[in-house]
Structure 1
Amino acid sequence: MQQQLSTLSSSPTRSLPLTGASNFRDLGGYTGHGGQPVKWRRLFRSDHLAALTPQDQALLAELGVARAVDFRGQAESAAHAYALPGVARHPLAIEPTVVQRALELQRAGRQLTAQDAVALMQETYRGFVHDNAPRFAALFRLLLASDAPTVFHCTAGKDRTGFAAALILLALGVPRDVVMHDYLLTNALYQRPPGMGSNAPEEVLRVLWRVQEEFLDAALHSVDSDFGGVQAYLVEVLGVDAAAQKELAGRYLQAV
């Protein structure tokens, strides 16, 4: 195990081999402002951390992870609670809405289709931009308070976490096409838990448990059309002004 940890530390890899979390990965290496790469081993994104094995926890300790930002809603957190030695958990609850809306449609006699599911996901992502901005603002305050290695996550690490990762990378000057590439990596990594949502048609589940460009695009289009772009959204809505963005770059971009 020690040899594996040393190898990971000396030769950074984006996806980390955890047994209890399939979508745990590093945001390092992407090129940001001024051609400076995002520092490795500072910012991690993941699915939930309640199933980590002792070996997984040892790997997080080796990586120096000191903070976990948890975007899960109250019921999700209660159902899969965790406490990791040496890791401070910061709950920034964003309640899930897709399942609730899907159930409302079903109660109204509507048989859900994949197209319905895509529309629900897009509506959810627009909600991140408008309704959940305070949670993402709090995330940036944490990142500005300390550059201690941090993991942020929700349940699957794909939607709430995906939008948070996009905001961080965009704030650091990473181009949108690269941000989208990082977002879509979930489809290659995340392993859907068996039996989840088994009452819904498989075509619907394939939408709900994966990510599509249309989802993140819905959020970014809302940022552009409703707020005048990412820069204005960062400053006016999330409170990440020019000085804060400079501080972020100093903390999380590698000087070249």
Structure 2
Amino acid sequence: MPDTPDDALRLSGASNFRDLAASPGTVGHGGRPLRRGQVFRSDHLAGLTEADRAAIAALGLGRALDFRGVAERAAAAYDLPGVTQHALSIEPTVVQHMQALVASGQALTVPTVTGLMHDLYRGLVNDQSHRFAELFAHLLDEADTRPLVFHCTAGKDRTGLAAALILLALGVPRDAVLHDYLLTNERYSFMPGEHPEIPRDALMVLWRVQQGFLDEALLAIDRDHGGLDRYLPQRLGLTPAALQALAARYLAEG
């Protein structure tokens, strides 16, 4: 794949699609940059135009790792020729909790929704580590070295944490990891008319990302698991040998 600016990858039907190596500062162990054109992150791929599909075909993607829940996948299914789909289901919870609060007559304030998002990120770290372990197993699969994309619905929370874990495992500094995470606020286009029962200021918390969300996940890793150096091998299966293999595959030669 040519070394082109990230803007060259912009798709009409997946606003948050991007090369994980394209964010500034994505330099890993030993000052080695990430290889371009190997790992992509995205929102869901059910709304792609024909031009989008042609652009993805040109990238040579062979695998799509889908973090969406069962109903989400059924409601927005897609098919890309030559791309093998793998379901790594993490069921959504925040919208359902918000709707339950509305139904019970409780007001949805910005602090309330922010708290739900913090709960989500702690839950992703503590309860969904098996899905992220599956992600790394795909990244390290020696039988299939084709470029891949991982995604959820908006490509911001489940996908955002997955991207952060990949970058951290490759030795990318936390400020660069945060930069990649926050790019969602510049890229993702959501429909403002969705969920009219939820106040707009609360929806803006839901449909955007904040540093505090990622900080909550990293705090959970430190507090509940003894830090990243323990979380990676104990919960994600990333032994020292696996980390070396990950770096060899996804970092350019120094």
Q: Shorter chain as normaliser: what TM range?
A: over 0.9
8 A Cα contact 2:99 2:198, kept in partner:
no
Q: Which amino acid aligns with 1:255?
A: E
8 A Cα contact 2:132 2:236, kept in partner:
yes
Q: Which amino acid aligns with 1:141?
A: A
Normalized against structure 2, the TM-score is what? 0.95
Report matched runs for 1:166-245 at 5 Å.
166-245=164-243
State which of 66, 77, 88 in structure 1 corresponds to 2:73: 77
Partner SS, residue 232 of structure 1? helix
Q: For the aligned residues, what is the CA RMSD? A: 1.1
Q: Which amino acid aligns with 2:11?
A: L
Query: 1:93, 1:117 → 2: CA distance?
Result: 23
8 A Cα contact 2:62 2:84, kept in partner:
yes
8 A Cα contact 1:14 1:27, kept in partner:
no
Query: 2:231, 2:187 → 1: CA distance?
Result: 30
State which of 34, 38, 42 in structure 2 corresponds to 1:38: 34
State which of 84, 88, 99 in structure 1 corresponds to 2:84: 88
Normalized against structure 1, the TM-score is what? 0.94
Q: Which amino acid aligns with 1:133?
A: S
In structure 1, the partner of 2:6 is: 14
Which segments of structure 1 move beyond 6 Å, counting only runs of 4 or more? none
User: For structure 1, which runs of at least 5 residues remain unmatched after alignment?
Assistant: 1-8
Partner SS, residue 10 of structure 1? coil
Report matched runs for 1:98-117 at 5 Å.
98-117=94-113
1:198-246 Cα deviation digits (max 9, x unpaired): 2211100110000000111111100011111112101001111100000
8 A Cα contact 1:49 1:82, kept in partner:
yes
> Does residue 163 of structure 2 align to residue 165 of structure 1?
yes
8 A Cα contact 1:147 1:252, kept in partner:
no
User: For structure 2, which runs of at least 5 residues remain unmatched after alignment?
Assistant: none
- Larger RCO: Structure 1 or Structure 2 (Cα < 8 Å, ≥ 6 residues apart)? 2
Of 52-61 and 117-126, deviating more is 52-61
8 A Cα contact 1:65 1:148, kept in partner:
yes
In structure 2, the partner of 1:137 is: 133
Q: Which amino acid aligns with 1:108?
A: S
Query: 2:74, 2:214 → 1: CA distance?
Result: 28
Query: 2:197, 2:102 → 1: CA distance?
Result: 11
Query: 1:14, 1:242 → 2: CA distance?
Result: 31
Query: 1:239, 1:198 → 2: CA distance?
Result: 42
Query: 2:192, 2:119 → 1: CA distance?
Result: 26
1:79-116 Cα deviation digits (max 9, x unpaired): 00011000000000000000121122223321000111
Query: 1:195, 1:13 → 2: CA distance?
Result: 32
Deviation at 1:39, TM superposition (A): 0.5
8 A Cα contact 1:23 1:156, kept in partner:
yes
Deviation at 1:194, TM superposition (A): 4.3
